[in-house]
Amino acid sequence: MLPENITAVVGRNDRWTGNAASEPHECGWAREAIIFVRALKTPKGKQPVARVEISPDGMRWLPEGTEAAMPSEKDGIIALRVNHFGNWLRVSADFGNDAESTVLVTIHLKA
Amino acid sequence: MTIQKTPTADMAEALRLAMLRANPDLSRFDPLPRIISHDDFSRGHCGWSQLVGNYEDDLDTMLPGYAQHTSAMISTLGHWDAGSHGGMDSSYALKIATRARAGARNVAIKRHTFRKRGPIRFEVYFTFKPEANELALSETDVRSVGFLFDLQGGDRDNADDRIMPHIRFLNAENGKHVQKWQFKPETTKFKTIGTADKTVSHDHLAPEGWRDLPDGGQRLCYNEIPTKINWTYLCFDFDLESMRATGFRCNDRTFDMSGFRSISIPAMKNLWCMLNFCLFAETDTDKRAFLYVDSVCISGDF
């Protein structure tokens, strides 16, 4: 049987402001993940760095270490690659006052 | 095909039952003669994908009820205090999680078409819990879990209707532990999506319009802290010929479906022979609700 391979949409047309994060995604079965963040609209204000976060329980989050600057223009996409992440993944970004981005966040997982 | 009542057919049925009951993967189900799909989530998502709302040109045209949906996960039911709970006979189950906002919902869908208008059976082993972010039982945080079918006859059937049977277990509402089964005979008004006159949308899972099943109260096993779960069985029978519900069981209870009604709306020009199945969860508080599904068996008599 082919190994499991799934694309999960964890945020679609979500407007990110302030301390923003994608919904927790449980994926301990996967050995590798790429998270794409795409700006669906022209981002407003200074765009922060997006960071991958891991968790022992899906509720408490720590930076995993992988980061990339949020897209600065409409349809800009960033990719965050991780391959040792335990059971939960999410991506977060802290926006300053008056900054925002409307995002599509997808997690691509392989067993 | 439907097996005729002859001595040979009796033997075939006895053999079928013997093989079913000796098969550890299927023995806990009571499938009709043909198994359409058997989803054991140790083999992946098995086609249970995210229910995405309709849109045209711009995602902002999607109705808000659908915009909140996210993809289902494969879960070990991992908990902060006890580790992974696991499924019934593997480590894994499907997990449908709402967002952490009172009234939020999430829906997973499996999309098929049917070959014959006849009986179908939907069997599920499931459980539900809220996110365990409080050291409290939290038994009234999950509003409901449930399922629905989305059905339409064949293009030569003179089928005038799209039929959508809905059932939910209303666990709690406004902090009250209600624990009863409900059905939903009405949807919202249709809204035109975009400008091309090709797409409409309606929020058939909108909060309004649920009605109680007669004698539909049922106290399910909930256990005593938010990280202990027990698997529950349900079985829903529906006849695609008459488009009527013919039975509903949950664990040791059998419910009277004589008053059950499905949502019925005009047939659509592109949904012939549609056979869709949805599973959903709703939260009653600003806390994520989780519907876990160990396994699903969908069967038919054709």
Same domain, B23 and B49: no
The CA distance from B98 to B107, in Å, is 9
Contact: B78, A57; criterion CB under 8 Å:
yes
Same domain, B17 and B106: no
Residues contacting A11, CB < 8 A, separation 6+: A22, A23, A103, A104, A105, B70
Domain count for chain B, please give it: 2
Same domain, B20 and B100: no
pLDDT of B1 strictly over 60: no
Phi (first) and psi of residue B15, to 5 degrees: -65, -40
Overall average pLDDT of the B66-74 stretch: 96
Overall average pLDDT of the B95-124 stretch: 98
> In CATH, what number is assigned to the domain containing residue A44?
2.60.120.40
Residue A39 tokens read as 């700006």
Contact: B70, A13; criterion CB under 8 Å:
no
Backbone CA torsion sign across A90, A91, A96, A98:
negative
Overall average pLDDT of the A77-91 stretch: 97
Same domain, B199 and B168: yes
Contacts of A6 in chain B (CB under 8 A): 44-45, 71, 74
What's the gap in Å between the CA of B198 and the closest CA on chain A?
22
Contact: A9, B75; criterion CB under 8 Å:
no
For B155-172, write each residue's pLDDT tens digit.
999 878 999 999 999 999
Phi (first) and psi of residue B21, to 5 degrees: -75, -20
How many Cα atoms sit within 13 Å of B38 on the Cβ side?
Answer: 13
Same domain, B184 and B60: yes
For A54-68, write each residue's pLDDT tens digit.
999 999 999 999 999
What's the gap in Å between the CA of A91 and the closest CA on chain B?
15
Same domain, B20 and B51: no
Contacts of A38 in chain B (CB under 8 A): none
Contact indicator for A77, A44 with CB cutoff of 8 Å: no
A76 DSSP assignment: -
Contacts of B288 in chain A (CB under 8 A): 24
Residue type, B125: Y
pLDDT confidence bin for B102, thresholds 50/70/90? very high
Q: What angle do CA B168, B94, B296 make, to 5 degrees?
A: 65
Using the structure block, give the residue that is written with the tokens 């709703």: B282
Overall average pLDDT of the B60-89 stretch: 95
Q: What angle do CA B127, B128, B129 make, to 5 degrees?
A: 140
pLDDT confidence bin for B2, thresholds 50/70/90? low
Phi (first) and psi of residue B186, to 5 degrees: -135, 150
Same domain, B17 and B115: no
Residues on chain A bordering chain B, Cβ-to-Cβ distance under 8 angstroms: 1, 4, 6-13, 23-29, 40, 56-59, 87
Q: Which residue segment(s) compose the domain that A23 sits in?
A: 5-110
pLDDT of B195 strictly over 80: yes
Contact: B70, A9; criterion CB under 8 Å:
yes
pLDDT of A106 strictly over 90: yes
Q: What is the pLDDT of residue A101?
A: 98
Give the 3-state DSSP-derived string for chain B, with helices as H, strands as E and coil as C. Answer: CCCCCCHHHHHHHHHHHHHHHCCCCCCCCCCCCEEEEEEEHHHCCCCCEECCCCCECEHHHCCHHHHCCCCCEEECCEECCCEECCCCCCCCEEEEECCCCCCCEEEEEEEEECCCCCEEEEEEEEEEEECCCCCCCCCCCEEEEEEEEEEECCCCCCCCEEEECEEEEEEEECCEEEEEEEECCCCCCCEEECCCCCEEECCCCCCCCCEEEEEEECCCCCCCCCCCCCCEEEEEEEECCCCEEEEEEECCEECCCCCCCCEEEECCCCCCCEEEEEEEEEECCCCCEEEEEEEEEEEECC
Q: What is the pLDDT of residue B6?
A: 84
Q: What is the pLDDT of residue B276?
A: 98
What's the gap in Å between the CA of B254 and the closest CA on chain A?
35
| Model confidence pTM above 0.90 | yes
Q: Which residue segment(s) compose the domain that B10 sits in?
A: 1-30
A5, A26, A42, A91: which to substitute to probe chain B, counting the most B Cβ within 10 Å?
A: A26
Same domain, B243 and B232: yes
Domain count for chain A, please give it: 1
Same domain, B25 and B37: no
Which of B43, B45, B52 faces A6 most closely, judged by CB atoms? B45
Residue type, B156: R
Same domain, B108 and B241: yes
Contacts of A27 in chain B (CB under 8 A): 73-74
Same domain, B117 and B262: yes
> In CATH, what number is assigned to the domain containing residue B231?
2.60.120.200
